[in-house]
Amino acid sequence: MLDMKKPTRYTVWYRIGLPQKGEDMASQDKYTILYARLSQEDLQKKNGKEDDSNSILNQRLYLEKYAADHGFGYTKFISDDGYTGTNFNRPGWQEVMELVESDQVATIIVKDMSRLGREYLQVGQYTELIFPSYGVRFIAVNDGVDSLYENTNDFTPFRNIINEFYAKDCSKKGRTSARVKAETGARVASRPCYGYKKDPDDPKRHIVPDEDTAWVVKRIFALCVAGSGPMQIGKQLEREQIPNPSNHYYRKYGKETTGLNLSRPYHWSSTTVASILEDETYLGHTVNLRSTTISYKNKKKIDRPLSEQLRFENTHEPLVDKQTWEIVQDIRKHKRRRANFAEQNMFSGLVYCADCGGTMVLHRAHTMDAVKNNFMCSTYKKKGKEVCSGHYIREIELAAVLLDDIRRITHFARQNELRFAEYIGVKQGKEAQREIATLQKKATEMERRKAELSAIFKRLYEDSVLGRIPDEQYRLLSRDYTREQAEIDEALPKVTEQLQKLKDSAGNVSRFLENARRYTEIPELTCEILHTFIQRVEVGERAKRYDRNAPQEIRIYYRDIGLIDEMPETMTEETKKPTQTEVA
C-alpha cells in the first residue's frame, strides 16, 4: 500500500530483449528513462474516493506497457512521489539529470507534460534546449509529444502554460480555502504542535493535550521560570533522554518531518525550545495565518505581519497558566547573552536606574570574589558621568533587600487578605489615574507639535519656491525640523502603547494573594520567586556618592500590584517603619 502523503521516490531498471524498432544501435547501451511524478494536488477526489489514475503504480504500469509495445529496451523507472511540479527540486529528477549529464540516457518517457513539470519556463528549457543538447529523445505519451518528430511539438509551449495555470489555480483555491477555514478559528495546520494531539471527536478542527508530551512542555516553561535559557533547557532534556519533537512524531506516527535527525534523537536545539516558549498555542489560543510562502512556485516560508495574523483566544485546553506565560515572556523579552559563569544573572531585565531609566548591568569576573559582584548604570558605563552616575549596588545587597521585602509584603497579604486587597485597589486607582493623565498630556503635546511641524514644512516649502528665503537657509531649517519630526514619530507610538497598556491593565490582587499563599516559606531568593513577585526594581544614587554607608533608595514594583510605598497603620505595627528601603 503506497503512502501518498509521504514524499518518496522509486528507481527500477531492467533490460527488455535486444535493440528493437524504438531504438538504434548507437543508443542500445543507454537508458530509456520512464519517469513518473505525483503531488498531493494530483490526488483529486471523485465520488468521495481518491482517484488513483495518476498514482505512481499506474503511471509505472502505463509507461512499461508503452515501452514494451514500442520496442524501447534497457529501461529504468524513476519517480518522485509527493513532490510538486512547480519546481524541479526533486530527488528522482536530480537522479535523471545526473544520468543525462553523464551521457547515459537515450530517451525520457513520461505519461504527459504535467508529469514532467508545471513551470512552463523550466519545462520549455528542458524540452527545447537541454534535452536536444544531450541528444535525448523526449516523449509525453498522452499529449502526443515526441521530439523525434518536429510537428508534434508545435502546441507544446501552450500546453506547458496551461499546466502552469492549473498549478496556479490549485494554489489559489487552496489558499482561499485555508483562509476561510482560518477565519472561523479552526485549526488549519496539518499537524498539531508538540504537546498536543488531534481531538478524536473533532480531528480536523480541535486539539487536546497529548499525555505523552504535554508534561515536557510544562517542564520547559518551568525550567525557564527557574532561570534556565533555551540552550540550558535543551541540554537538560537531552540528559534526560527525552526525544525531540521531530523524533517523537516519527516514533509515534512513522512520518518524517522537517529537521528529522535519527542519529541524534535527544538533541534539542535552542531554536526549538525558544519557539515553544513563545508559542501562544500553549496558552490555549489559536493563531492562524502566521506564515505563508513567497508564491506557488517558491515554497520558502516567510512570517506574516502581526496585523495579518488571525488570533482566537481560549480555543483549547492550555498547558501553561497566564501568570507563567507572562513571566516567561518578560524573561524572553530581555534575552541575555550566555555568560561563562556557573550561576546566570537572574536579575536580567528587572533592575533599572531610578534617574535615567537605563538598565543596570551586572559586573563580575572570575578574578573577583562573588560578594563583590555589583550593578552599575549602563548609561554611566557607556556615556560617562556627564550623563548619569554609577548608582553602584552590590548583587548580594540587592538580593537581601528584595528577599526581605518579599517576605514582608507577602506576610502582610496573608495576615488580612480583605484589607490588603481593599488597600491595593484604592492605591492602584489613584496611581493609575495620575499616570494616565501624565501620559495623555504628553501624547497630546506630541500630536500638537507634529501637526505644527507639518504646517511649518508647508509654509517653508512655499517660501522657498517663491524665493522668499535662500536655498541654504531652507536646507538648514528643513533638516532641523525633519530631525524633530523623526524623533516624535519614533517616540509617539511608544507613549501611545504605554498609555493603552495602562488603561487596559487592572490590579490582579487575587493572583498576588494566591502566590502569597503558595509561597508561605521563602528561605532564599530564587529566580522563580523573583520573577513570580517582582516586575521591576529601580535603584537610586546614594545620598553621598561613593560612600557605602550612605543610604540608597530602592523602589520595588511588584507584579500585579505595583509599587508598595507604605502599608496602612492599622494592618500591622511594622508599617510605621520608613517606607523606602535603605542599603547601608
* pLDDT at residue 575 tops 50: no
Q: What is the pTM for the complete model shown?
A: 0.60
Whether pLDDT at 271 is above 60? yes
Tell me if residue 498 falls in helix, strand or coil. helix
What per-residue confidence (pLDDT) applies to 567?
63
Pairing of strands 196-198, 291-293: unpaired
pLDDT bin (cut points 50, 70, 90) of residue 574 is very low
Instruction: Indicate the pLDDT class of residue 543, thresholds 50, 70 and 90.
Output: confident
What does the pLDDT look like over 529-540, one tens digit per residue? 999 999 899 999
Considering only residues 243 and 574, tell me which one the structure prediction assigns the higher pLDDT.
243
Place 551 in a pLDDT band, splitting at 50, 70 and 90. confident
**What's the pLDDT band for 544 if we cut at 50, 70, 90?**
confident
- Is the per-residue pLDDT at 366 higher than 90? no
Residue range 58-66: average pLDDT? 92
Question: Which contiguous run of DSSP H or E holds residue 196?
Answer: strand 196-198
Cα–Cα distance for residue pair 369/363, rounded to 1 Å: 11
DSSP output for 85-129: SSS---HHHHHHHHHHHTT-EEEEEESSHHHH-S-HHHHHHIIII
To 10 degrees, the CA torsion angle through 465, 466, 468, 473?
10
How many Å apart are CA 441 and CA 368, to the nearest integer? 48
pLDDT at 175 over 80: no
Segment 162-186 mean pLDDT: 69
Please tell me the distance from the alpha carbon of residue 100 to that of residue 106, in angstroms, as a whole number. 8
How large a percentage of the chain has pLDDT more than 70? 79
- Interval 284-324: pLDDT, tens: 998 887 777 766 566 677 777 777 788 888 889 999 998 89
Least confident of 61-65, 139-143, 467-471, 517-521: 467-471
DSSP letter assigned to residue 305 = P
C-alpha to C-alpha distance for 166 and 143, rounded to whole angstroms: 16
Backbone angles phi, psi at 156, to 5 degrees: -60, -45
- In 3-state terms, what secondary structure has residue 57? helix
Give the chain's largest Cα–Cα span: 109
Q: Is the pLDDT of residue 404 over 70?
A: yes
Residue 397 has pLDDT above 50, yes or no: yes
Q: Is residue 77 within 8 Å of residue 12, measured between CB atoms?
A: yes
Distance CA 501, CA 535 (A): 15
| Whether the Cβ atoms of residue 78 and residue 34 lie closer than 8 Å to each other | yes
Mean pLDDT, the chain, integer: 81
pLDDT at 524: 92
Least confident residue range of 162-166, 216-220, 269-273: 162-166
Pairing outcome for strands 360-363 and 301-303 = unpaired
Q: How far is the C-alpha of 44 from the C-alpha of 260, rounded, in Å?
A: 29
All cell numbers assigned to 107 = 530517451
Average of per-residue pLDDT across 146-161? 70
Q: What is the CA radius of gyration of the chain?
A: 34
Which domains can be identified in the chain, with CATH numbers?
A: 11-169 (3.40.50.1390), 196-331 (3.90.1750)
Q: pLDDT tens, 326-341?
A: 889 888 887 655 555 5
Question: Over 60: is that where the pLDDT of 482 sits?
Answer: yes
Q: How many CA atoms within 13 Å lie on the side-chain side of 238?
A: 15
